[in-house]
Chain A
Amino acid sequence: MKGLAELYIQQFRTTLAMMLQYRASLLIWMIGHVLEPLVYLIVWSVVAGTGGGSVGDYAKRDFAAYFIVLMLVNHVTYTWIMYEFEYRIRHGSLSFALLRPVHPIHSDIADNVSSKVITLPFMVAVAGVLALVFRPALSPEPWAIGLFVPALLLAFLVRFLLEWTLAQAAFWTTRVSAINQTYFVLLLFLSGQIAPITLMPHPVRVLAQILPFRAMVGFPVELLLGRLTLSEALTGLGIQAAWVIIGLVLLRVAWRAGVRVYTAVGA
């Protein structure tokens, strides 16, 4: 355990230095992360404005709060591992990772966390500016803030583990872009990024109950907005924990089978 902690600290130092070199690129990639929730914030504000001030139980300023918090949660939990993995396998650079005595997922987690250490201050500043413009209605209970922290952490883990697992598809096919895009469309609709899940039509709500996407983004957002009762919040945390375990199992299975079919192109 101590060895792993040291490994993380070292890895974290190197990737932080590396990511700092790509500050400009990181900032440019953030524009999409800001613009998408902003567009839906505006669209739903307009709908609320024409519909007598609210849509369902969301008023204009509730939408502002929802999408600004969503922007931050989505940024904290997102990964780019599905693109990265395809590149590693296509160019054979995975071979180097396989030679190291630790599982490659550890350096990926360190990469992800260090890039966010750099970008998160900017995202928070953007959220602050958006809050001044759109005046969100956000007054969470203390217990909701307390539970938001583990919920956000679990959301990151669920998303990281499942996307890392899905990225293994690159071992079997070179056409992962179709798989990735299918995944992102599902994520968009079922995680609450287009609209709060409670406003979605019934079949979408049922799917969102079964699939893990809400646990990745929508659940922590609803929690901080005070949309959930204490028991709903605890159930949600339980569901997230269950998905972490499922994710760990799937990841192990996929990784073992994948490494066996890996042919190290270009090495």
Chain B
Amino acid sequence: MPKTKVKSDQNFKLFLNTRRHLLLAIVMIWATVALIFFAIKPQLSPILKLRSNLETERKQYLELTKKIQDLNNIKVSDQFLKKDKVDEVLPSHKPISELLFNLYQTMNSSNTNITALSINPGEIASESANVLIESSAQASQNPTKKNNKKYGILAMDLTVIGSEPEVDQFLDLVERISPLTSIVELSIKLKTNRDDTKVTEAQLLLNTYYYTQVITTRVEEELPSIGEAELKVFDTVQKFTPSEFKKPDTLEGANIEDLFGIKGFEF
């Protein structure tokens, strides 16, 4: 063995024996640096991301629990239990039969006579109020797909005859029937009958409103709240003339063998 090699081994052993702690310190410093840069630092940004995700999810969870709570409260709220009256005042379909029935009821209670009536219902099977259930992704994809028209109008020309107070009463009552109806044109004339009695004739153009807006429900969306003004409207609507209209559930004149009944022909 060469002399230099033996000397170097001895020096290294001496160095190991005498500077052991320094060597360990150097190893530890490198291990600390490695820990910081390769184990701790890479975890910091995922932790921050996880925290912010958790915050978002927690917020969403709180909103959902609030919504569940709200839905439970709604089911027992006085206003919601009486929502049928609101549906009656602003129905989700063209309310032709209801309007005619309630006009007849108004005519009877004001002792007037309807001498002419003209209505153009338009499309009977038009689009009525629908519910769109969509996810937030769908909502952002189709922002303009919603039906923005809130209500439809059913126009009716009407001529009413009666004494002046009776016609006045009719005019007063007609705006408080369901479905919601407004007088948009009115012409009042005094007419003399053949027996020289004077009658008042009112020619009216009535607009009756029905609901057409399509709504969108999303799980994460908050429920709308009812304000003071809407509560007032709700109370007013409850005072509208009650309707005795009942939706027919039988088809009258059905089960006939000859649909047309033309003499000489059998169908």
A and B interact physically: no
